[in-house]
Structure 1
Amino acid sequence: MKFYNFTIGFLTFFILAVLYNAQPSFGLHYGQLILIGKQKFKMDFNKRAVANGIKQNPKYTKIMNKLPHSPFKPPIGDHEETYSITFSFDNNEAKKVVAEYGLDPDRDMFQIGREIENIDFTIDQKRVSRYACRIVAEREAPENVYIYAAGFDNSKNIFLGVNAMKIKKPDGQFDGLVTNGVLILSPFNEPPSQEAPPIHENAASSSHALESLSSRIMSPIKRIMKPLKKISRESSPRAGRKNKSSQESTPITGKEKEVSQEIFHSTCWKEVSVTGDIYSQRKERVPGQMGKFEPSLTNKLEDGTLINLCGATLLWRSAKGLQNIDTEETLKKRLQELNKKRAQCPVYMHTLVFGRTGESSTSNSNNGHSVLRKPHVYEKCGHVQSNHKWGIDNGKYKCPYCKQSSDRVIKMSLGLEPAFHLDSNAFDYAFNSCGHIASERTVEYWSSIPIPQENGNFHAVCPFCNTLLNDDKPTIKLILCQD
C-alpha cells in the first residue's frame, strides 16, 4: 500500500512538472517599473495569457468632417476589436482625423496613468494624466519593450484635443504630442563615449553589470555637467578674486541660466509621441510647442531608462537587468556589516545602530534600539553621531568631534529598494538632505541626474524618497567615530 501511494505521488509530481515545463512562455517577465520616491511602489510586466496589443491599419485613417449637431462616429474597419486615435483640429470639432487600430497577436500592451479603470499601473498624482502612456512588449522577443505617449480610454480611443500638438508625417499619417508630455532619459539615447564601456552581455556579477550600466548612463550626464560647472566656476566669488580685471564675483546671468537649461533640453530628456517617435524636449510644456524630430533615436526601453510623466518619474529595469541586481537580503547583510563597525556617539558614548526606512519604533525597541541610538550625520563634516543637544547655538550645530559648524544634522536610514542601488559596496555615503545611505557609486549616479520638476526646472533627487538634493553638496561622505 505504501509503495502504491508512493508511485501515485511520484507520477502526479512528474505529470505536473511536464505540464509546467510545457508552458515556458506563459508569465514571461518583460521587466519592472519602479516609481521614484516610493519604495515598493512598482509593477511587474509579465506576458499576458492572451495578447492585447494593437497595430495601426493605415487603410482606415480618415479625415472626418462632422456636420453641425450630428453625432460623430469613427470609421469602422474589419476588426472585431477596434481602437482609434482622434486628432481634433478646431474648437467646434467640425474637422477630425481618426486613425484606426486593430488587435496585434504578437504584442502585449500595458497602460499607465491616474485613472483606475482600464489602467494597469495607477499613479495617484494630480499632474499625471488619467491615461498617461502605454507600454508595448513583443511576446516572442521579450527584450523588445517600447513606450508610447497617451493611453486608450474606456471607449478604446485616444483623443488629442485642439491644444495638443498634431504632426503630419511625410507618409500622410498623423502623430501628436500630449499636453503634459511623456519624457524619457535612456542610457542609449546618446552616442557612445570612449570613457563609457559597453554593457557586458554576460556579466559575471551584479556589481559588474550595474557598474557597466552606470558608466553608460553617466557618460552623457558628465558631458552635460562640464559646461554647467564651467559657468559655476566663472561666476563664483573665488573665480572673481582670481580674475585680475575684476575684484567682484560675476553672478550667473539670465542668459547663462537659459544656456544651462538648453543643455538639459537638447542633451538629456527626450519626448515620446503618440506613435512612438522621439523629439527633443520642449522648452515648456505648453500648447503649440514641439521639439526637433530625432529619427536616429528610438522609443525602446533599455535597462535603466527613466520615464517622466509630469509629476512622476519611473525607472525601468529590464528582466535581464533584474537578474543582476542585489536582493533585499544582500542589502540587509551590508547594513549588518555597517553596524558591526560599532559607530560611537562621542557625547553619549554608546553604539549607534543603522536601520531601514519604514522601521517602526516598536520594532526598534524590541531589538534594544532607542531613539538616542539612531545615527545622524553633520552636513558639513560628515561625522556620524546621535541626535544630542550639545553644541547647538543660533541654529548651528557644532560637531563635538571636529568642532565644525553645520546648518543641519540629518537622520539616516537605508533605502531598501534593490533596483535603485547600483552595486553592493559598503554604505559609506548619504544623500543630502534626506539621509538615505548607499554606496559611493549609487549616490554619485543619482545626484548627477537632472530630474524634471513640476515647475519646469531640473533638479537631482533621492530615488528613495524624491527629496530634492542640496545644490552645493548633494552627497555626504560618512565618517564613523569608532571605539
Structure 2
Amino acid sequence: MFSPGQEEHCAPNKEPVKYGELVVLGYNGALPNGDRGRRKSRFALYKRPKANGVKPSTVHVISTPQASKAISCKGQHSISYTLSRNQTVVVEYTHDKDTDMFQVGRSTESPIDFVVTDTISGSQNNDEAQITQSTISRFACRIVCDRNEPYTARIFAAGFDSSKNIFLGEKAAKWKNPDGHMDGLTTNGVLVMHPRGGFTEESQPGVWREISVCGDVYTLRETRSAQQRGKLVESETNVLQDGSLIDLCGATLLWRTADGLFHTPTQKHIEALRQEINAARPQCPVGLNTLAFPSINKEVVEEKQPWAYLSCGHVHGYHNWGHRSDTEANERECPMCRTVGPYVPLWLGCEAGFYVDAGPPTHAFTPCGHVCSEKSAKYWSQIPLPHGTHAFHAACPFCATQLLGEQNCIKLIFQGPVD
C-alpha cells in the first residue's frame, strides 16, 4: 500500500511526509515467518496522495432496521449505535480533506492498512501457543493524521469495515454525551499509555487509559470487556505522542513520531555496536574461547554465542555443567561467583524503535536474555503492559516474555581477552 512508487506521486521532488511508525512489541525486527504485505512487525504511515479522512456530519434516529440499512448502504462512512430492537442512532461521516485515516485490525480485508495478529510470547514455542480464539478486533482502531504541520496523529477505537460502517450492537457499551453526541467502547477496548517526559532516557511510565469510538479518554473498566465504562478524563486527549503504547488486547503497538525516529539509533548504529563488542573479543572466563554476537536472529544458538548467568550477569560461552538439581533444568551455578540462577543465550535487541538512547548494549532482560542499552532496559523494565483481560506486567519488548527478578534486567559482566 505504501510502496515508494506510490509515495512519489504526492511529492515528485521531495521525500514523502512521514507521520510516524507503529512497531509491534514482541518482535525483534521482523515477524517469525517474515514480513509480508500489510502483515509485518513495523508499519510506516505516510501522507497519502489524496486525503481519505472522514468527519461526523448528519445524525439519524431510526426505528426500523430497514431504514438503518438504507442509510448504511448509501456508500458513505457511518457509525451505528443500536440502543434497542426498535431504536438505532446512525451517525453519517463525510469526507475530510484535511486528514488521512489509517486502520489497524486483525482482518485482512482491504480497509485495514496494518494487519495485526495475537503476539505469541517468546517464552512459548509455536506448538504450545496456537491461538484458539483471537481477542483482537477485526477492525480494532483507526489513526487519523492531520495533513498539515505539525501532522498531529489521533487514535480512535474501532475501524470502518468493507461497507464503510462501524456497528455497536445492543450489548456494546454506548451512551449519549451531555452535548448530545453518541459514543461507545469496543468489546475488549483500545487502551493507550502516554509516557511521561516523551520517549527519552528520562521517561517514566504514564497511566493506561481507554479510548472511545469518538476519541474521548476514559479510566479503565473493571475488566477488559465490562459493560460499565470508566470515568471521563477531560484533561487528557487521544493525541499520540512519541512513545505512546496502544494495546489491542492481544497485541501492543508502540507509536514513534517521525521526529522521534530521527533521534533514535538506526539499524546501522546497532550493527556497529555489535561489531564493536565482537571486536573487543570478549572471552569465556572458563574456556577462554572468544565469544561473538551473531549478526541476525536465528532459531539455533551459534557456537560462539555469549551465554549469561542472569542472577549475577557473568558472561560465558556455553557449557553443559553447573546444574543444581534435576527439577530446575535452567538453574545453574555461576563458576565465577557461585550465584545460582537462570543460564541463557544472549541475543542482541535489533528493533531500533524500542531504544530510548544510543548507548552500548550492556544490559540483558531476565529471563529471555535480550540485550540492549542500560537506559532502554531500565525503561521497559518498569512499563506495565496489559496481559489478558485484567492483568499487567513488564515484558521484554523484543520477544514479549514476562520479565522476572528483582530488577527485570541485569548488567552484563564481560571478560576481555587475557593476552
TM-score scaled by structure 1? Answer: 0.74
Q: Does 1:308 align with 2:277?
A: no
Matches within 5 A, 1:216-227: 217-218=203-204, 221=205
Equivalent residue for 1:404? 339
- More helix by percentage: 1
Range moving further from structure 2, 339-348 or 473-482:
339-348
Q: Could you tell me which runs of 5 or more consecutive residues in structure 2 were left unpaired when the two chains were aligned.
A: 1-7, 31-40, 119-133
Q: Match for residue 478 of structure 1? A: 412
Which position in structure 2 is the counterpart of 1:167?
175
**Aligned: 1:182 with 2:190:** yes
Query: Does residue 108 of structure 1 match 2:42?
Result: no
C-alpha separation between the residues in 1 aligned to 2:191 and 2:102?
A: 17
Alignment of 1:28-47 (within 5 A): 28-38=17-27, 39-40=29-30, 41-47=41-47
Question: Structure 1 residue aligned with 2:388, among 454, 464, 467?
Answer: 454
Query: For residue 159 of structure 2, what is the aligned residue in structure 1?
Result: 151
1:445 to 373, 379, 392: 379
Asked if the contact 1:357/1:413 (under 8 Å) is kept, the reply is: no
Which digits, 9 at most, give the CA deviation of each residue in 1:252-307, with x for residues without a partner?
xxxxxxxxxxxxxxx61011110111111112012412111011111011111100
Q: Take 1:468 and 1:426, find their aligned partners in 2: how far apart are those partners?
A: 23
Q: Matches of 2:302 and 2:296 in 1, distance apart?
A: 14
Cα distance 1:400–1:185, how it changes in 2: closer, same or farther (>3 A)?
Answer: same
Which residue number corresponds to residue 297 of structure 1?
236
The residue identity in structure 1 corresponding to 2:16 is G
Distance in 2 (CA, whole Å) between partners of 1:464 and 1:417 is 7
**Deviation by residue 1:310-356 (Cα, 9 ceiling, x = unmatched):** 11100000111111111111111111221233222133220111224
Preserved CA contact (<8 Å) 1:164 1:287: no
Q: Is the 8 A contact 1:334 1:424 kept in 2?
A: no
- Structure with the higher fraction of residues in strand conformation: 2
Aligned to 1:119: 112
CA distance, structure 1, for counterparts of residue 63 and residue 394 of structure 2:
48
Residues 371/347 of structure 1: CA separation in 2 closer, same or farther (3 Å cut): farther
| Structure 1 residues 437 and 22, CA gap change in structure 2 (3 angstroms) | closer
> 8 Å contact 1:356–1:416 — kept in the other structure?
no
Structure 2 counterparts to residues 348-367 of structure 1, below 5 A: 348-359=287-298
**2:25 is the counterpart of 1:94:** no
Identical aligned pairs, as a percentage? 41
Determine whether 1:83 maps to 2:81.
no
Cα RMSD, aligned residues only: 2.3
What amino acid does structure 2 have at the position aligned with 1:120? D
Q: Partner amino acid for 2:333?
A: K
Deviation of the 1:49 alpha carbon: 1.1
Taking the aligned partners of 2:47 and 2:15, their CA distance within structure 1 comes to 6
Shift of 1:138: 0.8
Query: Is the Cα contact below 8 Å between 1:136 and 1:147 reproduced in 2?
Result: yes
Equivalent pair of 2:192/2:247 in contact (CA under 8 Å): yes
| CA–CA distance in structure 1, aligned partners of residues 245 and 164 of structure 2 | 27
Match of 2:320 in 1: 389
Shift of 1:182: 0.3
Structure with bigger gyration radius:
1
